[in-house]
Amino acid sequence: MECGFSPQLHSNRPILARTCPGASPRTRTWTSFLASPCLKTGSQIHLPHSSLKICNGAACKAVTSAPFVETTEATELDWDNIGFGLVPTDYMYVMKCSSDGIFTNGELKKFGPVELNPSAGVLNYGQGLFEGLKAYRKEDGSILLFRPEENAKRMIDGASRMCMPAPTVEQFVDAVKMTVVANNRWVPPTGKGSLYVRPLLMGSGAVLGLAPAPEYTFLIFVSPVGNYFKEGLAPINLIVEDEYHRATPGGTGGVKTIGNYASVLKAQKIAKEKGYSDVLYLDAVHNKYLEEVSSCNIFVVKGNVISTPEIKGTILPGITRKSIIDVARSQGFQVEERAVPVEELLDADEVFCTGTAVVVSPVGSITYLGKRVEYGNRGVGVVSQQLYSALTSLQMGLAEDHMGWTVQLN
């Protein structure tokens, strides 16, 4: 038997809440987001602290949650000019893990400050990871997530490297779904952007000596976003960095740990002051092979061949990177994952970046050792446009998902 719907009343307003077979008439429960008619425009859901449940088919499991009131009342955002910056939303998700290594009792809380002990592992020793994924509004009003299980797996891999426990794939995906649905009204209209989802895993327990933290917190917050680069789907200008390095063999460049990003800020700041969009890094051993941009993977196009640096521990295994490789191969391109010498940039037909935030970002020019190389008259390349259109059509539900990558919430 499946969970059914029954009308309930709260504050004299009609709402819809889920009830499960065997539950008392007063128990109100909530779907695990596979479908959600209760999220129709103008509706509200009120779920008391003691009775929030996740329902999936016949299985209903209780989760702890603060009182939750979800509303789809319109926001006052200018969807055409939201950019890529934090917009405070309604709810965030928090789940903790003690020394037993098991995460339990996740809950939705009002978005706001997080209290940490000054001796928390994340503050003193940088024991933290983060992920990034997006939710898109389809034309019919429903919401799509793109490959959330891949983010969950990457967090698990990163947690192992950082000596941290991690939520299971099921816990991660359910928490993402819960957070997105709770912030439903902040998902931009189709074609106006997306809801950026930021899961965090951090050592929140107090520790003075260098050691793994005794407690961990998994947190998710969201924000509606537009384009990451101010150029949008327009060519960006990169400079090859030959002094600073993003990662070294044996380090943490291949996991999404917080420290990887603080270390690129200086080179990025210098580059932006000179008018460049971002920095392209080289390997730390030979200083000649492409690695990645500050927060994006890099691809080089020559004829029908698309080349990208291989994953070997110093490069983040991007989920958009992985998806673009599969899409490109399905469209007849030959994709090579290998060491790519920086000199190949000088003779490329196109260059583009990929990442959750940018999706696909064409490169208009790259400057290396004072020499500037431009691509396609500094316009959007044919291959970049083709792959961008193919992937975003999948993500936004505009094309049939033959890959099985999207998850529909309501």
Q: Which residues pair with 104 in a beta bridge?
A: 96
Contact assessment for residue 86 and residue 150, using Cβ atoms and an 8 Å cutoff: no
Per-residue pLDDT, 108: 98
Per-residue pLDDT, 227: 76
Sorted by where each starts, the structural domains of the chain and their CATH numbers stand as 4-71 (no CATH), 79-226 (3.30.470.10), 236-395 (3.20.10.10)
State which residues of the chain have pLDDT below 70. 1-74, 229-232, 378
Active site residues: 256
Per-residue pLDDT, 349: 96
Q: How far is CA 275 from CA 95, 279, 323, 379, 395, in A?
A: 42, 11, 31, 18, 32
